[in-house]
Every structure is written in C-alpha cells, then in structure tokens.
Homo-oligomer: A and B are copies of this chain.
Amino acid sequence: MEEGMSGFCIKAGNGGGHGNNKCARWNPTIEQVTVLTDLFRSGLRTPTTDQIQNISSQLSFYGKIESKNVFYWFQNHKARERQKRRRISVSVIQDRGDPLTGLEGKSLSAKGFAEVDQVTETDRVIKTLQLFPLNTYVESECEAGKFRILRDNCKEVIGREFDYPPLDLRLSFL
C-alpha cells in the first residue's frame, strides 16, 4: 500500500501552496500546530471571527489552511483538554512530595485522596487482560480506548487476592 493511500495532504511536495487537491481534510503542519497551541496556552479559547481570520491568514504561510480549520481546532482542542482532565481526575490521585519523606503508602492516603469516587462497581468480567494481544500493543501510545477499560478491570485483576503467589501475578498476564 502506498502512503498516499490515506489521502493525507502531505505537505511534502506542495511548496507552492496549493498542493494536492486530493486531501479531504486539513492536515496541519508542525508550525501551524505550534502556533495554535501557543495561542491556546496563552488563554485564547474561543477566538472571534476576526481573530480566526487573522490566524488563518497567518498560518497560511505554513501551508494550506482555512478559517474553519482554525475554528475547529480550537473547538476540538478545548473539548479534548477538558475531557482528558475529567477522565483521569476520577481515578488518579497520587502522592507527590511524599517521596522526600519516604513514607510510602501511608502518605498516599494522607495526601487526602478521594479516589473511591469511582462510581461504577462494574461487573465487567476481568478477563480483559486476556483479550489484550499484548504483543501487538507495541509501545505505541494508543492508550485511549483500551486503557479506559483496563483501568477498571485491572483493579479487579490486581486486587484479586495477593497472597503472595510469587509468579502468579505475572503469569496471569503472560
């Protein structure tokens, strides 16, 4: 399969600006994303029409882009940042600064974690891990989907018993 298969508008060849009309959707360049991210970080969340047009105009120097792309970018980025925060805030509370004292587990809770708000006591059977290909997972960071599921189940799997069956834990995953 050729790389052009996916239909991305690869910026490679189109130095001229117009490039291939083949691309179905905007494929931002590194520079474009950098600028947009900077703006976002600087506090810009919902740019006005004028701002959008200006930004778009500016970014067009880096490659093909339209105003709507800018608009959507902010929409999406804002939403995803929020979602990301929500997702992890429900289940992750760790210690920090505790390492200095070396208190270990104790201070973990001392940190005032709530953690347990994990509403669902979902009865998802914990066979999930066995479903994971493990080998095909590679080190990619496609954590999104799978992790969400695993996290819930992992609690079960790991918390199962722990009677110190040495290799038991490991074997169950291998």
**What is the interface of chain A, defined by CB distance below 8 A to chain B?**
6, 9-12, 15, 24-31, 33-35, 37-39, 41-59, 61-63, 66-69, 71-73, 75-77, 79-85, 87-88, 90-105, 108-109, 113, 115-121, 123, 125-127, 129-130, 132, 134, 137-147, 149-151, 153-155, 157-159, 161-162, 164, 166-170, 173-174
Contact = CB atoms under 8 A, between A and B. Distances in A.
A147 B149 CA distance: 43
A134 to B, nearest CB: 6
Given A80-B120, A93-B27, A98-B68, A173 B39 contact: yes
A162 B48 CA distance: 9
A104 B66 contact: yes
